[in-house]
Amino acid sequence: MHENKLITRYELRMKIKELIHLQHFSDAEQQECEKLYEYPLLQFIFLSVTSGTPYSILAPILHEKREYKQMMFHYSHTFPLSDEALEEKYHAVCKQKLEHLQQIVSNLLLQAGYGILKSSDYQTLAKLAQTSLKIVLFCSILELANQIQELVLSSSDVFVIPPGTNINPFIQFYQQHSNAILLAEATVWLIDPETETISTFIGTPNGNLLQFFTKSELTRLIERHWRPTITEDF
C-alpha cells in the first residue's frame, strides 16, 4: 500500500483482511487486540491509515478521501488526483468487485442446491426444480438505476448490488422502483463483498435461499420512512 496511490475503501479493507490472514492471527489474538485498541483489528488498522495515527512507521498515510459513483477513494495529500484517475480506478475496481460478487453468488447457489446453467458477463442462470433465476450483477445502485426502466421484469429476475457510500441513491431507487419490482415478484439482493453477507433489499428470495439471508439495516431504515403500495397503476 504505497502512499502515492489512489485506493478504494474496498481494496484497502480487503488488503488489510489479507494481511491479518497472512499473519495468522488467531481469534483469541484478534479479541485481545480489540480490547487493547477498542476496535476490531481490521477496523483499527483501517482507521489508523485513513484518519488517525499510523500503526507503524511503514504504514501509508491516506488521510484524503473522495466519494465518486458510490465508491470511497482514499489517497495521500501528495497524490495528483484527477477525474481521469478516479474514472480509471472506478472501472478497474468495478471489475474486481463484480468478480468477487460473482463468486459469492455462485457459492450461495451451490449451497442452496441450485444448478448453475450458465455464468458469464456478470450474469448467472440457475435452476432448482421448477424455480429458475436470472441473476444480474451491478457495480453500484446507480448502475442498476440507469438500466432498470429498460428491463421487462419477471419473477425470475434477481439484481445484485453492493453497499454504497451514500444512502440517498438507495432511498430514491426504493421510492421509484420498489413498487414495480415487488409487483413482478423480482428481487434485489444486497451483498457486502467485504464481509460476504447477503441481505434482501427489495423482495423476498425464493424457497430455501431465504435461510442464507439477513434483512439489511439499510432496508429497515428505508421501510420505516417509505412503504410502497403494491398496485398495477404505476
Q: Where are the alpha helices (DSSP H) in 23-162?
A: 27-37, 41-50, 83-111, 141-147
Q: What is the pLDDT of residues 59-96, one digit of tens each?
A: 778 989 999 999 999 999 889 999 999 999 999 999 99
For residue 131, pLDDT beyond 80: yes
pLDDT digits (tens, 9 = 90+) for 157-205: 999 999 999 999 999 999 999 999 999 999 999 999 999 999 999 998 9
- Domains delineated in the chain: 7-81 (no CATH), 93-225 (3.40.50.10670)
b or e along 171-191 (b: 16 or more beta carbons within 10 Å of the residue's beta carbon)?
bebbeebbbbbbebebbbbbb
pLDDT at 51: 85
Given a cut of 60, is residue 234 above it in pLDDT? no
Computed over every residue of the chain, the mean pLDDT equals 88
Which residue did the predictor score with more confidence, 74 or 44? Answer: 74
On the question of pLDDT at 146 being above 70, the answer is: yes
pLDDT tens profile 20-37: 888 878 888 888 888 887
Q: How many Å is the Cα radius of gyration of the chain?
A: 20
- Whether the Cβ atoms of residue 117 and residue 135 lie closer than 8 Å to each other: no
Is there a contact between 185 and 155 (Cβ–Cβ < 8 Å)?
A: yes
pLDDT of residue 2: 47
* The pLDDT of residue 58: 66
Kindly tell me if the per-residue pLDDT of 225 is higher than 70: no
Query: Strand 131-137 and strand 123-128: pairing?
Result: antiparallel
